[in-house]
């Protein structure tokens, strides 16, 4: 091709291209590396900023996978849902590992640049709100900070009103013949989910059928792995805040550690856990 190296030489890669390097064109690496703009001269801020950005990318990736799971469940393709659940679980491993990059930070280290962040807080992550809502953690209050960002707020409002992944699981159980109350299937999805004895009973029955081809039992275990890893992320978040801030008020206006602990205590996929007491 005109302007390009004639081919691989001596087993090495091509080193001449007409325009932008194809890797950079695909990955947008130059753009990614231009997005780190610390507001102080403290060298530790770069770790905090970049790892926060890495976490944001993982939030978006996990959200994508949760939506893929929903699509498969709505099509009654439980086997097909297992692959994106597996991928999401592995992405959560990566997300959890990101905390290790901040393990060096003491309260004194954080205070060197914290004040320059102003009111900025991880509490204000729109993508994390999307992730929470897909996992069934709905709160109209927590999307209010985005009212001035019209497109972001509209997307969050739509997410609040849409079924969570657990709502889709519950609907699937109803279609599979389990005694799921219709009011659970037709509920106001923006409202906080209330655990159901009927959903719990359905999972007890599913788990007692231990045939290797029981796809609903495999679904239950895959979802359990997923939410367990999400719980690890929440726990590490609490630990990181306790380690770097103690019980100080949060920069976003919350009470800080106490508020975060209350959020972390909210159950995800509740009947999948409570059913284990009845098995």
Nearest-angstrom CA–CA distance, 84 and 47: 30
pLDDT exceeding 90 applies to what percent of the chain? 78
Asked if residue 212 is part of any domain, the answer here is: yes
Range 267-273 average pLDDT: 96
Collect all residues with Cβ–Cβ distance below 8 Å to 130 and sequence separation of at least 6.
Answer: 59, 63, 155, 156, 159
Asked if residue 22 is part of any domain, the answer here is: no
Asked if residue 131 is part of any domain, the answer here is: yes
pLDDT band at 5 (very low <50, low <70, confident <90, very high): very low
Asked if residue 121 is part of any domain, the answer here is: yes
pLDDT band at 249 (very low <50, low <70, confident <90, very high): low
pLDDT band at 3 (very low <50, low <70, confident <90, very high): very low
Q: Is 208 flagged in the annotation as binding?
A: no
Asked if residue 35 is part of any domain, the answer here is: no
Domain hosting residue 86, numbered range: 53-278
pLDDT exceeding 70 applies to what percent of the chain? 94
Q: Report pLDDT for 121.
A: 79
Q: Mean pLDDT score of the chain, rounded to an integer? A: 92
Asked if residue 86 is part of any domain, the answer here is: yes
Range 39-48 average pLDDT: 95
CATH number of the domain at 95, please: 1.20.58.480
Q: Which of 9-13, 106-110, 251-255 has the highest mean pLDDT?
A: 106-110
pLDDT band at 250 (very low <50, low <70, confident <90, very high): low
Does the pLDDT value for residue 26 go beyond 90?
Answer: yes
Asked if residue 30 is part of any domain, the answer here is: no
Q: Report pLDDT for 122.
A: 79
pLDDT band at 12 (very low <50, low <70, confident <90, very high): confident
Nearest-angstrom CA–CA distance, 269 and 223: 8
Asked if residue 24 is part of any domain, the answer here is: no
pLDDT band at 262 (very low <50, low <70, confident <90, very high): confident
Range 13-39 average pLDDT: 93
Q: Considering the entire predicted model, what is its pTM?
A: 0.91
pLDDT in tens, 45-103: 999 999 999 999 999 999 999 999 999 999 999 999 999 999 999 999 999 999 999 99
Q: Report pLDDT for 245.
A: 82
pLDDT band at 13 (very low <50, low <70, confident <90, very high): confident
Buried b (16+ CB within 10 A) or exposed e, 54-66: ebeebbebbbebb
pLDDT band at 265 (very low <50, low <70, confident <90, very high): confident
**Domain tally for the chain?**
1
Q: Report pLDDT for 65.
A: 98
pLDDT band at 4 (very low <50, low <70, confident <90, very high): very low
Q: Is 237 flagged in the annotation as binding?
A: yes
């Amino acid at each position: 091709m005109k302007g390009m190296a004639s081919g691989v030489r001596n087993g090495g890669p091509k080193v001449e291209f007409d325009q932008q390097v194809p890797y950079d064109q695909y990955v947008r690496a130059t753009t990614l590396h231009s997005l780190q703009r610390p507001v102080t001269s403290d060298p530790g801020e770069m770790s905090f900023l970049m790892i926060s950005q890495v976490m944001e990318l993982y939030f978006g990736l996990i959200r994508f996978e949760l939506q893929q799971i929903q699509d498969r469940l709505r099509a009654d393709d439980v086997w097909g849902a297992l692959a994106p659940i597996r991928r999401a679980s592995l992405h959560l491993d990566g997300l959890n590992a990101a905390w290790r990059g901040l393990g060096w930070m003491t309260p004194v280290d954080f205070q060197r640049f914290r004040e320059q962040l102003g009111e900025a807080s991880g509490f204000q992550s729109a993508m994390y709100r999307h992730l929470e809502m897909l996992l069934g953690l709905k709160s109209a209050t927590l999307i209010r900070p985005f009212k001035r960002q019209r497109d972001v707020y509209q997307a969050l409002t739509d997410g609040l009103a849409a079924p969570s992944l657990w709502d889709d699981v519950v609907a699937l159980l109803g279609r599979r013949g389990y005694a799921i109350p219709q009011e659970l299937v037709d509920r106001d999805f923006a409202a906080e989910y209330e655990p159901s004895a009927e959903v719990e009973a359905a999972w007890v029955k599913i788990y007692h059928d231990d045939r290797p081809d029981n796809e609903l039992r495999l679904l239950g275990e895959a979802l359990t792995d997923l939410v367990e890893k999400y719980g690890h992320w929440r726990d590490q978040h609490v630990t990181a805040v306790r380690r770097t801030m103690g019980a100080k008020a949060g920069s976003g206006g919350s009470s800080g550690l106490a508020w975060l602990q209350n959020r972390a205590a909210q159950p995800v996929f509740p009947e999948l856990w409570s059913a284990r007491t009845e098995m």
